[in-house]
Structure 1
Amino acid sequence: MEIIIRKAEEKDSEKIWTLMEQLAVFEKYIDSFAITPEIVKESGFRKIPPDFYCIVADDNDKIAGMLLYYFLPYTAQNRPAIYMKELYVDENYRGQKIGEQLMNALKIEAEQNNCNQIKWTDAPWNKAGQKFYERLGATENNEWLNYEWKI
């Protein structure tokens, strides 16, 4: 098995959607999950600019993991940032450092786009995820609180 980390292509839309659905189950929001394969295709690959970008871990045309992100073009430092929206590795592929490879690819993407940081949130109950991010050298940001305004 040789995993190739690459930017997603439109032909990956259905497989990306499958992982998004699995993530929704894992993170306990499947009841409100409203994404379809067609939405993935339109929003990520046909819309200009796209609503999101995606890096995948490809195992001989099977998508073993995905990382969705988008750019925050304007920050106080006058440099863009990347916001990582979703990182998910199929449970059959866990323990093979695929998540780390996806994060390293995102770091390269950030450097190539002159970004000064990568931001994301994690569920407080996801202790394995928190350990993973800390192992990579990420630090928790306690300076800001997250708010939502549902409309």
Structure 2
Amino acid sequence: MQTGVQIKIAVPGELSGLAYLFDGYRQFYGMESDLAGAQVFLSERMRRGDSVILVAKEQEGLSVGFVQLYPMFSSVRMAPIFILNDLYVDQDWRGRGIGEQLMEAARRHAVQSGNIALELATEKTNERAQRLYEKLGYSRDRTFYHYALDL
């Protein structure tokens, strides 16, 4: 079921609602709640232009979901890409097609910004997200292994 939400690029005046969602996103991945830290983190991303945050708002203006895109470059393809690190819909608003709408808005924004790809990663156990990504045409990378080093 699709829900009528408006999706737009977030601005600093929307930080409190966005920080609440971001804090929920982090808790979904097992982190402790840190609403103040979430607000500072998002404020810095906006201030420095480190990312693009698309926010979904319901008719009353309540922020109900977001997607965050980080600009990067593909050296091999010599072109800009976006890394889609964060997709989150408030628990009370799930199952209404908002995640799919956010993903489509992210795709449109990436194309309009001259990017050649959207790349993302998800936790192996997040099968719901994996089904959505595959439904939208994303394919699991079977060529490269991705590694991480905590510093």
Could you tell me how far apart the structure 2 residues matched to 1:54 and 1:116 are?
19
| Cα shift at 1:92 | 1.0
Match of residue 46 from structure 2: 45
Q: Do the aligned residues in 2 keep the contact of 1:75 with 1:81 (CA within 8 Å)?
A: no
Which segment is superposed worse, 74-83 or 54-63?
Answer: 74-83
Could you tell me how far apart the structure 2 residues matched to 1:115 and 1:150 are?
28
Uncovered stretches (5+) of structure 2, i.e. residues with no partner: none
Could you tell me how far apart the structure 2 residues matched to 1:76 and 1:64 are?
37
Match of residue 76 from structure 2: 76
- If the length of structure 2 is used for normalisation, what is the TM-score? 0.89
Question: What are the residue-to-residue correspondences of 1:104-115 with 2, within 5 Å?
Answer: 104-115=104-115
Uncovered stretches (5+) of structure 1, i.e. residues with no partner: none
| Cα shift at 1:73 | 3.3
Could you tell me how far apart the structure 1 residues matched to 2:74 and 2:138 are?
22
Percentage identity across aligned positions?
23
Q: Note closer, same or farther for the CA distance 1:35–1:51 as it changes in structure 2 (3 Å cut).
A: farther
Q: Do the aligned residues in 1 keep the contact of 2:81 with 2:115 (CA within 8 Å)?
A: yes
Match of residue 66 from structure 1: 66
Could you tell me how far apart the structure 2 residues matched to 1:34 and 1:27 are?
18
Task: Specify the SS of the correspondent of 1:35.
Answer: helix
Task: Specify the SS of the correspondent of 1:39.
Answer: helix
- If the length of structure 1 is used for normalisation, what is the TM-score? 0.89
**What is the root-mean-square deviation of aligned Cα atoms in Å?**
2.0
Could you tell me how far apart the structure 2 residues matched to 1:39 and 1:115 are?
25
